[in-house]
Structure 1
């Protein structure tokens, strides 16, 4: 019986740029980057700038694995983001590989404890309080 790989099948690595207060959680399948989350430490909260999964690897729980990794690594930090689907154009990914529509994306973040906190500069702002 053939079974699909679980999210734990793939290699998780962490990368940090302490000078920029920025860190990444990266998932690889061999040499291929298949998912990542980019986090900036703003001092008063963590800001997720991007979370993305390669189109060929979607539906396997990889984004949840990454988001849960951020939450687990920083249990005492508020985590914020701008809930908006974007297109990732990484050289090893298909062009124009867009994500979930904004409404579905907001529901997914809500299942992970985020709540809508619109701001005049960002109507899609969501926060998960520590």
Structure 2
């Protein structure tokens, strides 16, 4: 995790963090960076949900890899042992961020965002 907690890339697999005003960890995003970026998890502390932290983390991935396809499974995963968004809410949220359904065998919740610019 990047020590600054500002959405910076740490290493591959990539970890992005976002801190609250008191410098406690508000949320994180884990991604595998390869030919396609695979977002494996986004977790936001329940105390900081609804404040744009997940959006900032997702945008950090977009800025880091504008020439790559980004995929994920828009499936519920309990973070911080507190309920998060439902499958429908996750689908809607990712759709607002440019992802489209891309189901695969064994992965009905897969969504993909195509590159915003061609690879160099």
Q: Calculate the TM-score normalised by the size of structure 1.
A: 0.78
Q: Look up the SS of the partner of 2:8 in the other structure.
A: strand
Give the corresponding residue for 1:14: 8
Spell out the pairing of 1:34-113 with structure 2 (5 A cutoff).
34-41=26-33, 43-89=34-80, 96-113=81-98
* 1:125 paired to 2:110: yes
Output the CA distance in 2 between the equivalents of 1:109 and 1:88. Answer: 18
Q: For residues 109 and 13 of structure 1, do their structure 2 counterparts lie closer, same or farther at Cα, with a shift above 3 Å needed?
A: closer
Deviation readout 1:74-99 (Å, 9 max, x if unpaired): 1001000001111124xxxxxx2121
Number of equivalenced pairs: 111
Q: Look up the SS of the partner of 1:75 in the other structure.
A: coil
For structure 1, the 5+ residue unaligned runs are: 1-9, 90-95
* 1:25 paired to 2:10: no
1:28 CA drift (Å): 1.6
For structure 2, the 5+ residue unaligned runs are: 116-120
Deviation readout 1:65-116 (Å, 9 max, x if unpaired): 1111111111001000001111124xxxxxx212100001100000000000
Deviation readout 1:18-66 (Å, 9 max, x if unpaired): xxx301110123342111111101x320000001111011111111111
Post-superposition, which runs of at least 4 consecutive aligned residues in structure 1 deviate over 6 A?
none
CA RMSD of superposed structures (Å) = 1.7
Which of the pair has more CA radius of gyration? 1
More strand by share: 1
Q: For residues 116 and 13 of structure 1, do their structure 2 counterparts lie closer, same or farther at Cα, with a shift above 3 Å needed?
A: closer
Q: Look up the SS of the partner of 2:28 in the other structure.
A: strand
